[in-house]
Structure 1
Amino acid sequence: MGEGKQGVLVVVGHQNPVTQLQAKYKELETGFKDWLAKQSLPVEAVVVTATSSLQGAAIGGLMATFTNDLSSSLPAPPPPGASFNPRAMASLQQAQALSGGPFIQARNFAVMTGVNAGISCVLKRIRGKEDVQSSMVAAFGSGAVFTLVSGMGGGGPNLAVNVVSSGVLFALMQGGLFKLGEKFSKPAVEEDVMYSKTRGMLSRLGLNSYEKNFQTGFLTDTTLPLLTDSALRDVKIPPGPRLLILDHIQREAELNNNKGKGGRRT
């Protein structure tokens, strides 16, 4: 090496393509939500309902591919005018609705998810919050409409009763799931706060895949200035990423010190 020249070791972080794709998707999702929040209530409701319906249709069509053989095993419906037990007829109609082909299931799930998302969107914009009451109202609407569209409500004088009963059942189930989700989401929110700086650092270094390592070792944001090579090694982070992380922390510390010195000058 010539005089006056110094060798420089450059360690380049390698980011998993899957992680890059997830980050890009998250960025697009955040941008879409920001744009949607600026729209009027009718526009937001229409967009949310449409996108949720498409997702529901995809799920329903996919599920139908796994249950397509069930429809062939069901008994044929009775001919018009034939006597048939009303309860048995209702059960047969429900089974046929749940075991229909891809188009039928796509339609059913599109209606169910679209109505649920649309009602939730309107209530959230009007009430300014998303709580168990709004969730249950949306579930009641989606359950009632799903019963009408899928044919599970049967027909005749019992149709209204079946529609309301299905709506109530959907609402109770959704309310229970909402409360259960609330119970388990609080620690997750606290955890997000504890690792927000860590997550940002790893993202800038292209090392998002090691976030779980930090969480496993309880290396929270408050421990960042205290990190050592041995601490990172204990949570099974390889040498290359360890060098990048420690170098980043050192640079941040030096930058903060320089800012502090500059602020004290008169």
Structure 2
Amino acid sequence: MEGAKQKRRPLTVMASSSSSQVAAARGMGMANPLAEWSDRFRSLETGLRAWLAKQPTHVEAAVSTTLGAVQGAALGGLMGTLAPDGGAALPVPPPPLGADPKALASLKQAQALAGGPLVQARNFAVMTGANAGISCVMRRIRGVEDVQGSMAAAFGSGALFSIVSGTGTSNPVANAITTGVAFAVFQGGFFMIGQKFSQPKSEDTYYSRGRSMLQSLGLQNYEKNFKKGLLTDQTLPLLTDSALRDVKIPPGPRLLILDHIKRSGIADKAILRS
């Protein structure tokens, strides 16, 4: 009997230890699912940006426009669904007889903002899609993401939003221009405010083009490596694989950076200026 009991003890110990290991493994697997999903989404976003940076301008613009339109449609549909009375965000009275054209235009604008989920999804899809696509084209043409490109994208998205939503039927062209200018002024102001707060140090101005390049490639995490190695905007045309390796940038990002510099013609522009 004593021998049998002694033989059972190791099995009991093994079972308890294995169960504790399984519990520990489960606990590790469920440690922080939100952080895990966030990391996966961030890696997918970085991979998509890196892939788009290697594509022609029209491909990146088409993908950016589509993604922006999908996001805008989801946001607009959600706003229309959450609004009271089946999506009527604002109580819009019927137009009075013999109303002034300006009053009718204002009424049309209110109706556009008070549409149901499908109307809101359409309007926001056009607005955000156009903004994303124009921003992409401007960044490719100018080689940097600045306030001029941001205002151009806002003007185009505002004008298209005015046309699609049907506001200002008395003079749709003038109303589209007015709406586009209003969008451009607001977004340009917000861009400059955000740029001021995001770049509190004057020394950051020496890395503006490098920062824009890294953001377009989805490699903004390596901005600190550029600053640590004093790789300012003036050194961009001179970058080599060994220089990027010295600041501890991995091989994959190094290839993307060098390919971007080659395709964007940064080195050729530097030679012409000299």
TM over 0.5: yes
Report if the CA contact (8 A) 2:154-2:180 is conserved.
Answer: yes
1:155 pairs with 166, 169, 189, which one? 169
The counterpart of 1:115, out of the listed 94, 113, 130, is 130
User: Match for residue 199 of structure 2?
Assistant: 186
* Pairwise CA distance, 1:17: 1.2
Unaligned ranges ≥5, structure 2: 1-23, 205-274
Please say if residues 64 and 105 of structure 1, whose CA atoms lie closer than 8 Å, have aligned partners that are also in contact.
Answer: yes
Q: Which amino acid aligns with 1:73?
A: P
Whether the 8 Å CA contact 1:137–1:171 is kept in 2: the answer is yes
Q: Which moved more, 1:12-21 or 1:102-111?
A: 12-21
Contact 2:90–2:114 (8 Å) recurs in 1: no
Q: Give the alignment partner of residue 172 of structure 1, picking from 168, 174, 185.
A: 185
Supply the AA of the counterpart residue of 1:178. F
User: Residues of 1 paired with 2:136 and 2:187: CA distance?
Assistant: 16
Percent identical pairs in the alignment equals: 56
Q: Which residue of 2 aligns with 1:257?
A: none
Is the CA contact (8 Å cut-off) linking 1:68 and 1:100 kept in structure 2? Answer: no
Q: Secondary structure at the match of 1:73?
A: coil
* Contact map agreement 2:154 2:187 (CA 8 A) in 1: yes
Separation (CA, whole Å) in 2 of partners of 1:165 and 1:72: 23
Deviation at 1:186, TM superposition (A): 2.3
Partner of 1:75: 93
CA contact (8 A) 2:152 2:184 kept: yes
SS at structure 2 position matched to 1:76 = coil
1:40 aligns with 2:53: no
Aligned ranges 1:16-31 → 2 under 5 Å: 16-31=32-47
Task: In structure 1, list runs of 5 or more residues that go unmatched.
Answer: 1-10, 191-266
Q: Is the 8 A contact 2:74 2:121 kept in 1?
A: yes
Amino acid at match of 1:96: Q
TM-score (normalised: structure 1): 0.61
Cα distance in 1, alignment partners of residues 84 and 72 from structure 2: 18
What SS class does the counterpart of residue 133 from structure 2 fall into?
A: helix
> Cα RMSD between the aligned structures?
2.5
Return closer, same or farther for 1:40/1:110 CA change in 2, 3 Å cut-off. Answer: same
Deviation per CA, 1:50-70, whole angstroms, max 9, x where unpaired? 111000000000111222433
- For the residues of structure 2 that align with 1:40 and 1:147, how far apart are their CA atoms? 30
Distance 1:176 1:71, change over 3 A: closer
CA distance in 1 between counterparts of 2:176 and 2:158 reads 8
Question: Using CA pairs below 8 Å that are at least 6 residues apart, which structure has the higher relative contact order?
Answer: 1
